[in-house]
Amino acid sequence: MIRLQVVEDEAPIRNGIIRHVPFAELGVDEVRSASSAEEALEIMSEYKPDIIISDIRMPGMGGIELCKTYKNKAKDCQIIFISGFSDKEYLTTAISLGAVNYIEKPIDIEELKKSIKKAVDAVVKINRQHKNLLHSVLTLPEEAIKDSLHQNGEAEGIFTPILFTAKEGIVSLSSVAKGLTELLSEGTAKEYTSLTDSLGGNIYLILLKSNESLDDINAKMIGEKLLSVRKNDEQWFVALGSEMKGFACPEPEELKKEIARLKKQLNSLSYLGWNKISTKKDEAVDKYVSLSDVELADFQKMINAGETESMLKQVNYWCNKLIQDRAAMNLSVKNSFYTLHNMIEKHYGSKTEDTIYEGSYVFIEEAKSVEEICDYICSYIKEIKTVKQNVSSNYIIKEVCNYINSHISKTDLSIVELSEVACLAPTYLSALFRKKTGNTISSYIQEMRLNKACELLKNPAYKQYEVAEMVGYDDAKYFAKAFKKKMGLTPSEYRDNMP
């Protein structure tokens, strides 16, 4: 997204620029205008333009002062000056500000177009370098990136590393980071920027830069804002790091050391659970865990007697104890759950009409939190009771699919809502659905949305954004991207190629 702002006090010139320049063709996504430098500064505080086209001489604050003020906050902003005067002093100042061009009135539109294209190319290059900087810091020798770390004019700032993991992965890390910085900057005079990198295994790094230190309360607020960016059916876990100083980026070795610590901090997901925030004091305890022979014997008696409520209470008691002890998800914890599952499966497995638990070992191995394994084991116990009452899990999945298809226009259709329809725990329903359909719930929902979109696109009365809304997408651009990924064509191309 490249933003441009036109600042010109003469309305005919201002409107003429906006009307006659093909901004979209030149790579500009959004254009705003202002009739004075004072008005422009108000707009800039939230709009944050990448390119400014400004008259130099205006009533009140002039274009030079305006651009100097904004450059202090956004050093990479590209500037194009326009003026009705050929003034050597102005030209010298424009050069010192790194202006792309100094265009005299009357404006030559072709010259202005070339200047805008040059500015757009510069913004794209800077964004690319900025995007790749963090990855370079983490993977290349310090000597190879020395110049990038000490860019001329880069103000020193406070960096807060944030590591987060997403259970099903995310579509766009840059969009997540952009959403976070916009939320943090909203309604404040504080400036936030970010660097990002994907560390693999659904683990992502956002390096947040601000111009002042944060107290513990504000640091926690950052984590809450980040979680608010996710979609309703997504499960994330956030680990907040310690602050460090730097210019373009903190010192590589210091940053790598903090990231290694944050990866260990992610283990606190085991007892805190998904959609929670972890700080340094929340680190999990990596200790050996086992169930005593007496506990296992008592649990076996419950199984033999078919006391499902007692079994559920006992499983929840053990899980709550692990959570209170801040237990890390190590091999001994998983083995305890394997043992419980095996005891139940040995007694009831052959008696159930339909069971998903051939994949239990995989589920427990991949699980990150005690809470989700607890839900899984408890759901198996409940399934035994359900099957005894002759309710087939095939019927449950059919009902869930019917509900999805009849509510496909809902943008916030979530696993929590579907689990209430099925009367099953979200974790169990996800595993059952995958077993029965070979697909995840989120993938199935997206597939149904796009299939429905194909039907609706056959009707020329519906505009593309209307189709997007009718199949549950509140962002037409994201809908078009998802549609093309599945169909190999944009919605417009698909419609044009229909017989």
CATH code of 167's domain = 3.30.70.270
Same-domain check for residues 191 and 109: no
Cα separation, 50 vs 5, whole angstroms = 8
Provide the pLDDT for residue 331: 93
pTM (global) more than 0.85: no
Same-domain check for residues 374 and 462: no
Provide the pLDDT for residue 150: 57
Provide the pLDDT for residue 359: 60
Same-domain check for residues 228 and 165: yes
Provide the pLDDT for residue 257: 95
Give helix 476-487 / helix 441-457 axis angle, nearest 10°: 90
Provide the pLDDT for residue 330: 93
Provide the pLDDT for residue 496: 83
Of 281, 311, 340, which residue constitutes the final position of a domain?
Answer: 281
Of 248, 281, 314, which residue constitutes the final position of a domain?
Answer: 281
Structural domains of the chain, count = 4
Residues in the chain predicted with pLDDT less than 70, given as ranges, are: 86-90, 92, 131, 140, 142-155, 189, 216-217, 349-359, 384-392, 499
Q: Is 162 exposed, middle or buried (0-12, 13-18, 19+ CB in 10 A)?
A: buried
- Residue 100 placed within a domain: yes
Of 341, 356, 388, which residue constitutes the final position of a domain?
Answer: 388
- Residue 142 placed within a domain: no
Provide the pLDDT for residue 217: 66
Cα separation, 281 vs 285, whole angstroms = 11
Give the structural domain span for 116.
Answer: 3-125
Same-domain check for residues 384 and 406: no
Same-domain check for residues 166 and 271: yes
- Residue 151 placed within a domain: no
Same-domain check for residues 246 and 321: no
Provide the pLDDT for residue 385: 62
- Residue 135 placed within a domain: no
Same-domain check for residues 269 and 316: no
Same-domain check for residues 193 and 179: yes
Same-domain check for residues 205 and 98: no
- Residue 147 placed within a domain: no
- Residue 60 placed within a domain: yes
Provide the pLDDT for residue 351: 47
Cα separation, 381 vs 398, whole angstroms = 21
Q: Identify any residues that bridge with 160 across adjacent strands, giving them in sequence order.
A: 208
CATH, residue 410: 1.10.10.60
Same-domain check for residues 435 and 359: no
- Residue 201 placed within a domain: yes
- Residue 132 placed within a domain: no
Same-domain check for residues 63 and 75: yes
Same-domain check for residues 397 and 366: no
Our CA angle for 49, 50, 51, nearest 5°, is 90
Q: Confirm if 303 and 349 have CB atoms less than 8 A apart.
A: no
